[in-house]
Chain A
Amino acid sequence: MEPDKNEISEAWEPRIVMFCCNWCSYAGADGAGIGRFQQPASMRIIRVMCSSRVDPVHVFSAFLEGADAVMITGCHLGDCHYINGNEKTLVKFNFMRSMLKELGLEEERLQLNWISASEGEKFAEVVRKVTEQVRQLGPCVLKPEGVA
């Protein structure tokens, strides 16, 4: 790794936009807070009713506005409160990931995780892990000039 990238990773904190579905992963986030599990302050959480509400336009806009990574979370497969919303999420996710990869972004910049309402600890762990991954990658190429 080049030296200046190391420098960046010391001073620089990644910003990650996280979409949480109302019924599972958002409750998981709550759980992580109540349980006081350690997690970095890198996430900007956006609550949606179901993970399938997340449209590629939301994901792309997040990147274009300066997110270093985007994470979509929802209920475990089979548990979606709208029957099969998260299966559609999975189809879209695969497409977005290939597209962003072809565009030149690292795969890790778009993530998908199923987190249930009771998995507060898992939530915190995922946040820690993803933050670390993105910190290693450095700022995203889509970040506009002048945005930290």
Chain B
Amino acid sequence: MQVKNRENVYSSICPGCGLACGLYIREMVSGTGETSVSVDFRKSSPVNAGKLCRFGLKLPVYYTEPQAHTEPQASMVRGQKSELKAAISAASEALKTAPAESLAFFSVGNTTNEEQKAFSALAGAFGAGVETGMGIYSSLPAKMHSALFQGMSLEGLEKAKQVFLFVDPYSQYPLLLRRVIRAKENGAKVVCIGPRHLPVADEQFCLKPEEYEKALSPSRDSVLIADIHPYSDPAHIKAVLDLAQASGAKPFFLRPFANSAGTALLSAHTKQRTLDKLFEDINSGKIKTLFCLESDLLELAPDREAALQALSKLDTLIVQTSGQGEFSGLADILIASEPFYRKHGTVLNAEGRLLSVGGNSTSGFDALSGLAAAFGKQLDFESARKEVFEVIGLKEADEFAFRKPAESFPVTAEVETPCSKHETGQESCSVSNSEVSNSESCPEKSCPECSSASLVYSLSPFMWHGVEDCSAFVELNLSMVRKLGLVKGGNVKIRASGKTVDMKFRISDIENGYLLSPLRLPVSGIPGAEVELSR
């Protein structure tokens, strides 16, 4: 409940990534209902000791821009502002009239377990499951799934003898960094795998998944830290798991969304589509009505333009969200919900802690459970919560307790053969420092200052939250900058598949032949491509 003209302090968590750092949200509601929020440090939080990354500190922007996220009345039905109730009944109507097999329900895990549960109930009423974009599960053998859900306390990580980092903690999971530094202080060796040379690394390798086993030799006291997200390369995930299995090292998988872990558990019985497949099915007309829960498909799509086109082919796009950006503007029916920090409910973080979000509103949950009830699935908050706790295996939300992962993971999804095709992706890079040379495919044959590089997206969870940061630049190393004759303050031209883009650049300590980008570039969708560079 909000009190006006006095600061409401929520003991909350950050929705930025799967670590779910503890923080305070200070909310000021003026007499006229305008809301402003600020973040404050919750130093007793065991996940992060109150420390936050850039994203966490930018949460006020996330919560209040581009439009007030805090306007519960901003629901829309086909372009018209409407009451929340009207939007819900419009959604109900749309679901009722659409053929069940043309419906899809999508949520990546930006919201509470309880909402997720209600969403599943709603999907279940149509014989469907909730899509999470994690088609990758289906490409991994079922016996590997339990390892993906092991979790591990960050504190425990500090005691590892060796830490193998398949992620870049500086830009991807910043609150992991201090734990790795502590492990190092405690004597651990830190081995980093990726194109960027990290200050914390004792050893650095740039490897393809098939090279892990040969080049890396973890022991039983080692921890292998990787992340799993909608664009993970199955070959990479499999190679990490194989390495863990062979060496007895502990794998620890981080995840991009606050509740990625809980969401995955709650939809474990659903065969997941990849994002590519999802868009393919929209394009082919297989999916005609799509319901997205707190998940911005435009930010998530491999290719924004293509996504816009695909979405326009839907009969009905239903969006339930607190965020009102371009994506929610596309919705035929927009069910406005409360911002994350005001939600009553829990999330499961990557470590396996069940955390309380800290608010006391259930309006998002009520919208979903109301819809589910309209289709014969009754679910009140308390029973949803009970079911959640059962699935997760904990009795209550407690910052200090950890979920004990089951030995085997309850997958019923059929398993496809693991993908072995190597694609340019975040964790894969060639080990030979291929001399950057005048490429054959250079369009201007005579141009001496042209070269090719692998565009690698330094995919971080923050890419998908649509918060602007001053990171509109690509990274290359000094020798490439020299070779291309780039000048300070100037741009680099990047060409691929007939498209060109001019970008600011940063000189970074990365492998030769790589172009890192924290932003999706218009020349190539995710996972990346070979590109031509010039001045």
Contact = CB atoms under 8 A, between A and B. Distances in A.
Do A and B share a direct contact in the complex (Cβ within 8 angstroms)? yes
Interface of A: 65, 145-146
Nearest to B482: A146
A65 to B, nearest CB: 8
Interface string B474-495: 0000100110000010000000
Contacts of A145: 478
Nearest to B488: A65
A145 B488 CA distance: 13
Nearest to A144: B507
A146 B483 CA distance: 12
A61 to B, nearest CB: 12
6 contacts: A65-B488, A145-B478, A146-B478, A146-B481, A146-B482, A146-B507
Report the 6 A-B pairs with minimum CB-CB distance, sorted nearest first. A146-B478, A145-B478, A146-B482, A65-B488, A146-B507, A146-B481
Contacts of A65: 488
B396 to A, nearest CB: 51
Contacts of A146: 478, 481-482, 507
B231 to A, nearest CB: 33
B455 to A, nearest CB: 23
Nearest to B481: A146
Measured as residues with beta carbon below 8 angstroms from the partner, the interface class of chain B is under 10
Interface of B: 478, 481-482, 488, 507
A97 B478 CA distance: 31
A146 B482 CA distance: 9
A70 to B, nearest CB: 18
Contacts of B481: 146
A65 B488 CA distance: 10
Contacts of B478: 145-146
Contacts of B482: 146
A145 B481 CA distance: 12
Nearest to A65: B488
A142 to B, nearest CB: 15
A145 B507 CA distance: 10
Nearest to A66: B488
Nearest to B479: A146
A146 B488 CA distance: 12
A68 to B, nearest CB: 17
Nearest to A147: B488
B505 to A, nearest CB: 14
B475 to A, nearest CB: 15
B305 to A, nearest CB: 37
A65 B487 CA distance: 13
Contacts of B488: 65
A63 to B, nearest CB: 15
A146 B507 CA distance: 11
A66 to B, nearest CB: 10
B479 to A, nearest CB: 9
A105 B526 CA distance: 45
A62 to B, nearest CB: 13
Nearest to A146: B478
A145 B482 CA distance: 12
A65 B489 CA distance: 12
A110 to B, nearest CB: 23
A5 to B, nearest CB: 24
A65 B507 CA distance: 13
A124 to B, nearest CB: 30
A117 B507 CA distance: 42
Contacts of B507: 146
B467 to A, nearest CB: 27
B487 to A, nearest CB: 12
User: Which of B481, B482, B488 lies at the interface centre, i.e. has the most chain A CB atoms within 10 A of its CB?
Assistant: B488
A146 B476 CA distance: 14
B243 to A, nearest CB: 35
Nearest to B509: A145
A146 B481 CA distance: 10
A146 B480 CA distance: 12
A60 B482 CA distance: 24
A65 B478 CA distance: 15
B172 to A, nearest CB: 25
